[in-house]
Structure 1
Amino acid sequence: MKHMSVAAATAAALLLATASPATAAHATAIGDVQQAMENLAKMPGVVGAIGGVYVDGKPAGRGTAGSRLLNGKGGTIPANSRFRIGSQSKVMVATVLLQLVKEGRLSLDDKLADLLPEVDGLVERADEITVQQLIQHTSGIPDWFYKSGTTEPAFDVFDFTTYYRPIDIVKMTRGLPRTGEPGEKFTYSNTNYTLIDMIIEKVTGDTLASELDRRLFRPLGMTRTYHITKPPEGIKGPHGHGYYPDSTGTLRDVHRFNASWGNGAGGVVSTTHDVSTFWRAFSQGSLLPPSLQEVLTRGPQPQGSAQQSRGRCAEDLKMWGGDAPGYVALTVFSADGRKEFAISVTRSTADDSAIIPAMFKTAEAVLCPTV
């Protein structure tokens, strides 16, 4: 789905750093998570917020504030409830694809047109675009998420039931201008990961949801995580509800955000515990060999979208998140994988430009408390 950044939703990842090293006293110190969530919930446009901190895989604090439904209704969101993790899903999907590369079932240099002949003619220069370019957002393929030249979604946010096949979504980009030559520059595009979804299913003969479950969720013990693909499947169990204004400005519940738009771009539903478990495993290199992990961690980085921080231990912190109408999800984690702080915010505003940096500042204050 749309990836979060401070200036605009244009980045695949936000890797945040400062020049201030962490001290030994900060290695495992954790701030007040409940107070942090209460502070977030006071922000205009925030309906509810939950957060969970994990140190060496063990719970170290959690909190919930605001409400499950709009206008203070529905009680608080259960702190262990599921939520959409947005574009954090892309790292999981890319990990599955890179595991297939490790197994020799395809290569980083394979061409899109060879892997998916059905998109040749739908995607310009498909015979030049490589698997690595799709992963790293350097393919130049336009994004299906926005109407051309606007920041408005190109799809009906309130259509919760129509199923769109991945290829139907790829077709939406026909006629849109390319964003660059293949391999030329980083330009974030959800279409890259819709295509990766199709490649995984073509190579394995199985669904993306099944491959994620078999390769990541079950082995890592992410028992409450799943990938949704067909509407009207929603989030299982009590959870926070997000809202988005319709054409009249009326706020409408979008917690059932159409699953088929997610596909490989943002279809995973998880919990603070489970998404932290993934980032711990990923950070500690247990999912991919170093040479393949570097395709994700050392590839072209987005320019001009990273919120610079001046916190005492920010040098050790990385952030990956995502958002779409009604919600923002963020995980901030230490480079060594020892500490993770996962946050989910449901919102009632189309503008998240203030919420996103506040979420990172909140996470930094909790993970890097003054001692």
Structure 2
Amino acid sequence: MKHISVAAATVAALLLATASPATAAGATTIGDVQRAMETLAKTPGVVGTIGGAYMDGKPAGRGTAGSRLLNGKGGTIPAGSRFRIGSQSKTMVATVLLQLVEEGRLSLDDKLADLLPEVAADGLVERASEIIVQQLVQHTSGIPDWFHQSGSTEPAFDVFDFTTYHRPIDIVKMTRGRPRTGEPGETYTYSNTNYTLIGMIIEKVTGHTLARELDRRLFRLLGMTETYQVTKPPESITGPHGHGYYPDSTGALRDVHRFNASWGNGAGGVVSTTHDISTFRRAFDQGKLLPPSLQAVLTGGSAQQGTGLCGGKLKGQMLGGSAPGLTTLTFSSADGRQQFAISITRSTVDDNAIVPAMIKTVEAVLCTTA
């Protein structure tokens, strides 16, 4: 996950995650979700938006605004439709990895080179013999990110290639020659490559695909019947859903709802709904998926920071995800009783207005009695 303040005005271009532990008990009632979605949809660059609030696992309000397609076309997005959750996938993937640790099938101290000798060969991942599993989970490995071109905010891959399958090892190879971001275990620097490698480790240890392990250990267990991990193109979002847009080299907006599934892998390949992602967050926060010591690996790292919502009164965690054409955000109270999930499709690369607007939306819904 990428841990940043909820007051931050920008989101990483792909597979972001924000976190905001706060300092007091959360709200007990839910504001008008439909009205909040209508306000959010007025933000420049937003095409369509859906949101769902849940209390003790029961629906407490949902809404939809904007449109399914660009320029007001296609009607509104069904409020219960699926969407890509971006880096919110990382918590799910890490949960599976940590379950394997709990089962004794690997250790947090295991070296990357021992688990994946293929990435240590020829120095593909520098210092792989020093990097341990826990550093991958907590983004302290120093391994550079594959997503961005060096020295640029532009993607390092063809956003509009919806058909070419890229193996995880090929994605890792994109980082060859890029400078490390720090010493192993010393500096928090968000890198999607960490979770590409974690996905590879899960598949190596279990002998199964990451998609199968996520389904078996989380989705079926929790009744997340609308959720799945995309793996190879042209697999996309099932059912009516919102379409996001991204400018090509001429500046023309192109539909990217078929975003190439192979780029996600362990870094962000899950498709879900506001209900299902809230179901996962509730189970995670209530300690139903991991023992406290392993859950703390994800929630208690030194990289975690943030500002409380509702004037610092609302205690919980807010995670987000972003990819070309979309941004998602989910708040879950510390006790796991209360969740609010938002998905927006967008027509702009710039998140400077969108992310603060999404955070204000969360506060508009959850801060009514906080």
TM-score, normalising length: structure 1: 0.94
* Structure-to-structure mapping, 1:193-342, within 5 angstroms: 193-301=195-303, 306=306, 308=307, 311-312=310-311, 314-342=313-341
Report the Cα distance in structure 2 between the residues aligned to 1:319 and 1:54, rounded to whole angstroms: 15
Say whether the 8 Å CA contact 1:2–1:323 is kept in structure 2.
no
Moved over 6 A (4+): 1-4
Residue 320 of structure 2 aligns to which amino acid in structure 1? G
Report the Cα distance in structure 1 between the residues aligned to 2:177 and 2:2, rounded to whole angstroms: 21
Is 1:41–2:44 an aligned residue pair?
Answer: no
Structure 1 match to 2:358: 359
Structure 1's 317 and 183: CA in aligned 2 closer, same or farther, altered over 3 A?
A: same
Residue 271 of structure 2 aligns to which amino acid in structure 1? V
Structure 1's 302 and 288: CA in aligned 2 closer, same or farther, altered over 3 A?
A: closer
Report the Cα distance in structure 2 between the residues aligned to 1:310 and 1:92, rounded to whole angstroms: 24
Report the Cα distance in structure 2 between the residues aligned to 1:138 and 1:314, rounded to whole angstroms: 30
5+ residue gaps, structure 1: none
Measured after TM superposition, the shift of residue 2 of structure 1 is: 8.6
1:150-203: per-residue Cα shift (whole Å, max 9, x none)?
Answer: 111101000000000000000000000000010011000000000001000000
Structure 2 match to 1:50: 50
Structure 2 match to 1:6: 9
Measured after TM superposition, the shift of residue 310 of structure 1 is: 5.5
Percent sequence identity is 77
Report the Cα distance in structure 2 between the residues aligned to 1:8 and 1:359, rounded to whole angstroms: 11
Secondary structure at 1:203 match in 2: helix
Residue 285 of structure 1 aligns to which amino acid in structure 2? G
Say whether the 8 Å CA contact 2:10–2:351 is kept in structure 1.
no
Structure 1's 247 and 297: CA in aligned 2 closer, same or farther, altered over 3 A?
A: same
Structure 1's 18 and 103: CA in aligned 2 closer, same or farther, altered over 3 A?
A: closer
Secondary structure at 2:96 match in 1: helix
Say whether the 8 Å CA contact 2:163–2:233 is kept in structure 1.
yes
Structure 2 match to 1:106: 106
Structure 1's 256 and 370: CA in aligned 2 closer, same or farther, altered over 3 A?
A: same
Measured after TM superposition, the shift of residue 317 of structure 1 is: 2.9
TM-score, normalising length: structure 2: 0.95
Measured after TM superposition, the shift of residue 316 of structure 1 is: 1.1
Structure 1's 279 and 172: CA in aligned 2 closer, same or farther, altered over 3 A?
A: same
Report the Cα distance in structure 1 between the residues aligned to 2:21 and 2:144, rounded to whole angstroms: 29
Report the Cα distance in structure 1 between the residues aligned to 2:344 and 2:302, rounded to whole angstroms: 28
* Structure-to-structure mapping, 1:117-136, within 5 angstroms: 117-120=117-120, 121-136=123-138
Measured after TM superposition, the shift of residue 309 of structure 1 is: 5.2
**How many pairs were matched up?**
364
Say whether the 8 Å CA contact 1:13–1:301 is kept in structure 2.
no
Say whether the 8 Å CA contact 1:16–1:319 is kept in structure 2.
yes
5+ residue gaps, structure 2: none
Structure 1 match to 2:345: 346
Report the Cα distance in structure 1 between the residues aligned to 2:16 and 2:72, rounded to whole angstroms: 33
Secondary structure at 1:202 match in 2: helix
Report the Cα distance in structure 2 between the residues aligned to 1:123 and 1:156, rounded to whole angstroms: 23
Residue 6 of structure 1 aligns to which amino acid in structure 2? A
Measured after TM superposition, the shift of residue 319 of structure 1 is: 0.3
Structure 2 match to 1:79: 79
Structure 2 match to 1:190: 192
Report the Cα distance in structure 2 between the residues aligned to 1:3 and 1:207, rounded to whole angstroms: 28
Say whether the 8 Å CA contact 1:17–1:314 is kept in structure 2.
no
